[in-house]
Amino acid sequence: MPRLLGLFLFLLISAPAANADDGYRLWLKYDLISNPQLRKAYASMARFITCSENDPVSKTACLELQAGLQGLLGRPVLIQASGSKPGTIELLLLPKGAPDADNLGKDGFKIQSARGRLTIVAAQPSGLLYGAFELLRYIQTEGKTGELSGVRRPRVQFRMLNHWDNPLGTIERGYAGASLWKWYELPETIDPRYRDYARANASIGINAVVVNNVNASARFLTPEYLSKVKALADVLRPYSIKVFLSINFASPKILGKLKTSDPLDPQVRAWWQEKVREVYSYVPDFGGFLVKANSEGEPGPQEHGRTHADGANMLADAFRPHGGLVIWRAFVYGPDPKGDRFKEAYQEFKPLDGQFAPNVVVQVKNGPIDFQPREPFHPLFGAMPRTPLAMEFQITQEYLGFSTNLVFLAPLFKECLDSDTYARGKGSTVARVVDGSVHDYPVTVMAGVANTGSDRNWTGHSMSQANWYAFGRLAWDHQHSSARIAEEWTRMTLTQDPSAVATIKDILLGSRETYVRFTTPMGLHHIMGQGIHFGPEPWLARSARPDWTSIYYHRADSIGLGFDRTSQGSQALSLYAPEVQKQWSHPDSCELPYLLWFHHIPWDKTLSSGRTLWDELCFRYYAGVEEVAVIQARWKTVQSQVDPEWFADVQGRLAAQHREALNWRDACVLYFQTFSQKPLPPGLTPPKRTLEEMKRIVEIYQLR
């Protein structure tokens, strides 16, 4: 065994025990199984590992399986080139053309058991890697979260993390320290953390990484940075992870000193073709470019009178000889004080359906505004049958309380994925649009904006690790339930105690709804602090553009509250299929979580809850604060079953979350009361602080 891999395994197996857990090992904790009978049962099936393949990914699969089993079982597990004794786990790569190869696909695998032997079968090395991690997950969770035998295939081809990391080491919307990538030390120094990051991603099926910010520096396309990207790609490759780059569309002018970046200019096209060839000379298996263009000040083809399709197709031509992708973001909106930002991406991209090259994917955020705590699904999903659409979720908690708030995002992801677009009749869910089964997309992508950083525990808030985990599991199979994912992660990361698992799972599953209640109940949105997007600022009336204010969205007045997007308002609701419109078109039948997204409701109107709008709004804000207190109390009950360092970290952050919930409640109730002119409902204690005091507190939040 090479010296480096031997050292790697030694460090992995000899990792600190769970009673000194700083969060670094994430969910990859291969500590000794405490139940001796269970340990004996698993040990009987795992005496040997047979690995006959010599490619880097297959070798990685064998070594990861060996290291994990040795930690869990507390004894050596030998790797052999061949053998079929009882107690052998065989990693078997099917020959090309084998009957089962097409069924398994590129990343799929099958686990089968016969005559005391376990076999992981795959058509490609990546399948062996994912199969090895599936077996380890089954053992880590003591077989309580799923079946072992059977075929597993990912539903999406590219399961991708988008890093918003900058060349100087900062992270836009990063709340867990500085960038993972130590650009000034690369390529000469390879931080061991890069390999641990790759391991974590591979364990949940993530196979693609965009290493830099979508607000991209052209510097990433220089030889200086391409050599650094190559070094990262070399670390990620044995874990079957492709590297992508975000690019600055004006790079031909910035780097090439051309007079224009017009995508139809022959010199510009030639420059990009040569640049793409250069990238592949550094990284032969390079994945492609992610592009933010003509959005929030970023350059793009519209400056030259061209369309998004013109810009994307120019880059696609450069990638065609190499097999790479162009992922073009649809997050675009213009500063129209009389318009509705809800509609703008749809209006720009829907007319371009069918005009994009085959190797272009349009990446669409889950909702039409911007990663809000709750949004209706984006109307583009289901509306572009001839253009592959990628899902873009946000794992980092930009609008969800940064790293002080416990918010489990699987329910948010599932809420969007399970929404029915009715694009081709009932059952045309967003998930089935994204995975290609509704429109037969040739390429499928699900992306998540990463929440990792240089903090020792990777994600700032220890419990936010669950969101990274949840994204990977849903990108692999969107049919997994939030409850299953929460239990898997809890068992792998925190405890196997049944009572504690049940408590923590319940905390996770309810946490997103709690956050919505004390920040943006009933469809309120984009009323957070300006710039940093933290804390309440519903009174924000002036900004660099109207759709960066709060009043643009909540439309509070003496009559009522909410943004009318029906046929009497902005008509944004008309962008959906008729069946979807019917769900939300009338205020009396619209679900309360989406009510103020689509309707301007009078303060005195009685809702389906039996309360008036004003009373319901107040009750939800107060309930959110009370629920945080309940979470605090419930977390205390698991103290004896959770590592002390983990427990203290979460306990402190929950205390901060309770303080922030009070700020949200008092600021919003007092502010909206200036319009409703109504007292608080009976039984609710008035805030101890005045509106002016809350404005001063929030003003301090925004200081930099």
First to last CA, the chain: 51
List of long-range contacts for 226-232, beta carbons under 8 Å, 24+ apart: 226/278, 226/279, 226/282, 226/283, 227/186, 227/187, 227/282, 228/181, 228/183, 228/186, 228/187, 229/282, 229/283, 230/187, 230/282, 230/283, 231/186, 231/187, 231/190, 232/181, 232/186, 232/194
d(CA 585, CA 603): 19
362 neighbors 330 (Cβ within 8 angstroms): yes
Those residues whose C-beta lies under 8 Å from the C-beta of residue 176, and which sit 6 or more positions away, are 403, 451, 452, 453, 454, 455, 457, 458, 459, 460, 464
The pLDDT, as a whole number, for residue 145 is 84
Residue 327 and residue 244 in contact, taking contact as beta carbons nearer than 8 Å? yes
Question: What's residue 642's pLDDT?
Answer: 97
DSSP lists the bridge partners of residue 602 as 560
370 annotated active-site: yes
More confidently predicted of 338 and 355 = 355
Residue 551 reports pLDDT greater than 60:
yes
DSSP 621-678: HHHHHHHHHHHHHHHHTTGGGS-HHHHHHHHHHHHHHHHHHHHHHHHHHHHHHHHH--
Percentage of residues of the chain with pLDDT beyond 90: 91
Provide the strand spans (E) within 175-266: 208-210, 242-247
pLDDT at 704 (0 to 100): 62
Residue 80 β-bridge partners: 50
Residue 338: is its pLDDT beyond 50? Answer: yes
**Cβ atoms within 10 A of the Cβ of 26, count?**
24
Q: What does the pLDDT look like over 517-546, one tens digit per residue?
A: 999 999 999 999 998 999 999 999 999 999
pLDDT digit string, tens, across residues 617-672: 999 999 999 999 999 999 999 999 999 999 999 999 999 999 999 999 999 999 99
Is residue 410 helix, strand or coil? helix
421 Cα distance to chain centroid: 21
Q: At residue 5, does pLDDT exceed 80?
A: no
The pLDDT tens digits of the residues spanning 254-311 come to: 999 999 999 999 999 999 999 999 999 999 999 999 999 999 999 999 999 999 999 9
Vertex 362 angle, CA 356 and 365, to 5°: 160
pLDDT on residue 1: 40
- For residue 298, indicate whether it is catalytic: no
Whole-number average pLDDT of the chain: 95
Strand order in the sheet with 117-122: 78-80, 48-51, 88-93, 117-122, 109-114, 150-152
pLDDT for residue 19 is more than 70: no
- Domains defined along the chain, listed by start: 3-14+28-148 (3.30.379.10), 158-482 (3.20.20.80), 516-563+600-701 (3.90.1330.10)
Contact 424, 371 (CB under 8 A): no
Residue 238 is classified by DSSP as G
pLDDT at residue 555 in the model? 98
Q: How confident is the model at residue 3 (pLDDT cuts 50, 70, 90)?
A: very low
Q: How confident is the model at residue 700 (pLDDT cuts 50, 70, 90)?
A: confident
pLDDT of residue 2 exceeding 80: no
Say which DSSP state 594 is in. Answer: G
Q: Which of 185, 296, 336, 699 is catalytic?
A: 296
Q: What is residue 335's predicted lDDT score, i.e. its pLDDT?
A: 80
Closest C-alpha to 563, from 549, 576, 582 = 549
Residue 683 predicted with pLDDT over 80: yes
Q: What is the pLDDT of residue 13?
A: 45
In this prediction the pTM is 0.96
With contact defined as beta carbons under 8 Å apart, do 647 and 639 qualify? yes
Mean pLDDT, rounded, for 398-424: 98
Q: Which of 196, 398, 415, 420 is catalytic?
A: 398
* pLDDT (tens digit per residue) in 427-468: 999 999 999 999 999 999 999 999 999 999 999 999 999 999
619 HSE (CA, 13 A, CB side): 13
- Asked if pLDDT for residue 18 goes beyond 80, the answer is no
Does residue 494 contact residue 518 with C-beta atoms inside 8 Å?
no
> Which of the following is catalytic: 172, 234, 317, 370?
370
Residue 594: HSE in the Cβ half-sphere, 13 Å Cα cutoff: 22
Nearby residues of 334 by Cβ (< 8 Å), 6 or more positions away: 344
- pLDDT tens digits, one per residue of 480-524: 999 999 999 999 999 999 999 999 999 999 999 999 999 999 999
